Chain A
C-alpha cells in the first residue's frame, strides 16, 4: 500500500490535483469505502484492494455541477471504472483535461452480500490473499474462501481488469479472472423457454422496492431528471406494482444500451440482491454482436446508439 500512496502523492503534486477520488478503509470489516482526498496528508489513508468495489466514476457527474466548475481530479481507476470515465468523456459529460486517470490492477472486488452469506454471522476482522484464496479471520476463526466465490458476479466475466486508457498505471497489470465466458449467464437464460424467462424476471422484479440504488450507483446514470421522476406525462407509476418495476428496469437497461461498462455497482448496491445486471448484459451482447461496439475503451469512438451505419442489419424489420 505504501508504494501506491507514495506514487499517488507524487502525481497529486505533479499534476496539481485538487482532489483524488479513491478509497479508504470502511467501517465494516473487509469493506473499502470512497473517499475524497484533498491533501497529501489525507492520502496516507488511501487503500486499494479487494475490498474496494465502488465505482468512483459516479462522482464525476456531481463534480461537474460544482459551483465554480469541476476541480482537477485524480481518480483511482479499476478497469471498469476507467471505462466509465472514458464513456463520460466521450459523452461530453466531463472534460478530459480535468481528470487524471490512475489505473490500478484489479483482480476482483468483494460483493458484501456474498461475504455476509459466507460469514453467516461470524465477525471478520482481517483478511489476506494467498493466490486464489482469501483467508478471512476473526477473533476465533479463520476460513479459506476461493476468491471467485466472494467477488462480484461481473468480476467473474471481466474482460478489462486494467484501465484501457489511463494517464498513469500503478502496479503490474492484472490478468483477467474470467471463470466464465463473458455472456455465460445470458446464454444460460436464453436456453430457457420464454415462459421460464418471464417467470424468472417476474420473480426478480416483484421484489424491487424502487429505491433506485442501482440507478444512483451507476456512473452512467447522470440525468438531472430521470424518466421515473416525470409526472406530466408519467412514464412509470411510482408505486411497486410489478408491471411498473418491469418498465423501470427495462427502460434503464435501454438507456444504458452501448453505455454500460458492467462495473457491477448496480447489483452490489441493490439491498435485495436482485439480478439487476442480466437484462443489461443481454443488451451489451447485442450491441457487441450487432454494432461491434464496446463501451468506454477510448475517448473518441461515438457510442453505438448515437451512431449508425447505413448497412446496419435489419432482419427484424418486416
Chain B
C-alpha cells in the first residue's frame, strides 16, 4: 500500500501571475532551491485573469491539483486584479467543497517576486497534500469509452 502511494506522482497545474508569483518561481530557480517537479506552470498576466473555468477544466482533464498564485493584496500590478480574484476564488472554493470535491485539490497563494523560498514551500506543500489525496477521480471526464 505504501509502495503504491510512493509511486503516485500527482500532476499539478499552477497558474502564476507574471509580475509576482512567476518571478518568485524564477527566483527559486536561480537560487537553486529544490522542490518537487510535479507542477506544470501556466503564466498569466494577473491572478484576476484566472477564470474558474480554467480550474474546472484542469480537474476535468484529470489533473490532481491546481494552484493559483498571485501578488499580495495591495501589490497587484494592475491595482485590483487580485482583489477581484480573491472574491471569485472564495466562492469557487466554497462551491467545490460543497460538491464533495476534496478542498485541498485547489489552492490559492500570494507569492511575491522576492519570495523564492516561499514559492518552493508552497509547491512542496501542495504537492504533498495532493499526493496524499491520491489520483483525482470525481470531476475527471471519463469520456465515452464503452
Contact = CB atoms under 8 A, between A and B. Distances in A.
A239 B142 CA distance: 13
Interface in B85-141: 86-95, 97-102, 107-110, 122, 125-126, 138-141
Contact of B56 (A190, A239, A251, A318): A251
Contacts of A195: 100
Given A198-B138, A244-B141, A251-B53, A317 B99 contact: no
Interface in B66-86: 73-74, 80, 83-84, 86
Contacts of A257: 88, 91
B57 interface: yes
Interface in A4-56: none
Tell me the dominant secondary structure on chain B's binding face.
Answer: helix
Interface stretch (A139-147, A153-161, A165-173, A303-311): A303-311
A310 B73 contact: yes
A241 B56 contact: no
Contacts of B86: 308, 312, 314, 317
A210 to B, nearest CB: 15
B98 A243 contact: no
A61 interface: no
A250 B99 contact: yes
A251 B52 contact: yes
B90 A312 contact: yes
Interface residues of A, number: 46
B60 interface: yes
Nearest to A316: B93
B110 A317 contact: yes
Nearest to B68: A317
A254 B87 contact: no
Given A254-B92, A308-B83, A194 B141 contact: no
Interface string A273-316: 00000010011001100110000000000001111111011101
B121 to A, nearest CB: 9
Contact of B87 (A239, A244, A291): A291
Contacts of A316: 89-90, 93, 108
B89 A194 contact: no
A198 B105 CA distance: 15
A282 to B, nearest CB: 5
A229 B118 CA distance: 40
Nearest to A198: B100
Contacts of A310: 73-74, 83
A227 interface: yes
Instruction: Determine which residue in B73, B90, B140 has the highest number of CB atoms from chain A within 10 A of its CB, and name it.
Output: B90
Interface string A90-120: 0000000000000000000000000000000
B99 A286 contact: no
Nearest to A194: B100
B139 A243 contact: yes
Contacts of B80: 308
B60 A247 contact: yes
Contacts of B53: 227, 235, 247, 251
Contacts of B90: 286, 290, 312-314, 316
Contacts of A235: 53, 57
B139 A318 contact: no
Contacts of B95: 250, 253-254, 279, 282-283
A246 interface: yes
A281 to B, nearest CB: 10
Contacts of B57: 235, 247
Contacts of A199: 100
Contacts of B99: 197-198, 201, 246, 250, 279
B87 A282 contact: no
A83 B126 CA distance: 42
Contacts of B139: 243, 246
Given A247-B56, A310-B74, A318-B107, 9 more contacts: A197-B98, A199-B100, A243-B60, A243-B139, A243-B142, A291-B87, A310-B73, A310-B83, A317-B108
Interface of B: 52-53, 56-57, 60, 73-74, 80, 83-84, 86-95, 97-102, 107-110, 122, 125-126, 138-144
5 contacts: A190-B98, A194-B97, A314-B90, A318-B109, A318-B122
